[in-house]
Amino acid sequence: MNPTNSSGLPLAEAKARFIHTWGVSGASWGVSKTLAQVHALLLVSPAALSTEDIMDQLKISRGNASMTVRELLDWGLIYKELRPGERREFFVAEKDMLQVTRCIIRARKRRELDQMKRSLDQLAALPGDAADPEYRAFHAVLADIQQLATVSDKMLTRLMQAEKSWFWDKFIKLFM
């Protein structure tokens, strides 16, 4: 029952599958496959990797690796690791999944929700004939969407700020 190295898949193969899976998942929620794959690679690498390492392992170009790494730094999903006497930069992934979740929520909220809220607010501010039933129906739809957006926003903000204890304690207990 106890799996041994000889009976198991080589670890490298398992990691490669994980990278593939994470890449597909990433693509399905709208980030580039490469971004997700670089993130996955760093998540399963105990040691920090250089740009060169990333290029080699994922077979991507230097430019792509550079841009992707920069974007992941932006999201807060990976960190630079500087080594004395080394010119190259190394990168490690944030491994705490609560932290990772926060970063992802923050980025997606910004991209998907905040922008929409701004547009809706502008739209709702437009004047119109309040006596026209068609206009009122239109505004009712707008108001409903705005309310939903506001609630989602508050909910996500709260989730992001959640302490580990609050998150796992109150929140999970509420839902499980």
- For a second copy, the binding residues (CB under 8 A) are 2-5, 7-9, 11, 14-15, 17-18, 21, 24-25, 28-30, 43-44, 46, 95, 97, 101, 111-112, 115-116, 119-120, 123, 126-132, 134-135, 137-138, 141-142, 144-145, 147-148, 151, 154-155, 158, 172, 174-176
The angle that helices 133-161 and 97-108 make with each other, rounded to 10 degrees, is 160
Residue 87 or 173 with smaller CB distance to DNA: 87
The Cα-based distances of 122 to 132, 144, 145 in angstroms read: 20, 15, 13
| Smallest separation (angstroms) from a second copy to the CB of 154 | 5
Across 132-147, b (16+ Cβ under 10 Å) vs e yields: eeeeeeebeeeeeebe
| Smallest separation (angstroms) from DNA to the CB of 81 | 11
Rounded Cα distance, 164 and 72, in Å: 23
Among 13, 21, 24, 62, contact with DNA (rule: CB under 7 A): 62
| Smallest separation (angstroms) from DNA to the CB of 33 | 5
Check binding of 33 to DNA (CB under 7 A). Answer: yes
CA atoms within 13 A on the CB side of 87: 1
Contact 107, 75 (CB under 8 A): yes
Check binding of 39 to DNA (CB under 7 A). Answer: no
What backbone torsions phi and psi does residue 9 show, to the nearest 5 degrees? -65, 145
**Which partner in a second copy, DNA, none is near 52 (CB below 5 to 8 A by kind)?**
DNA
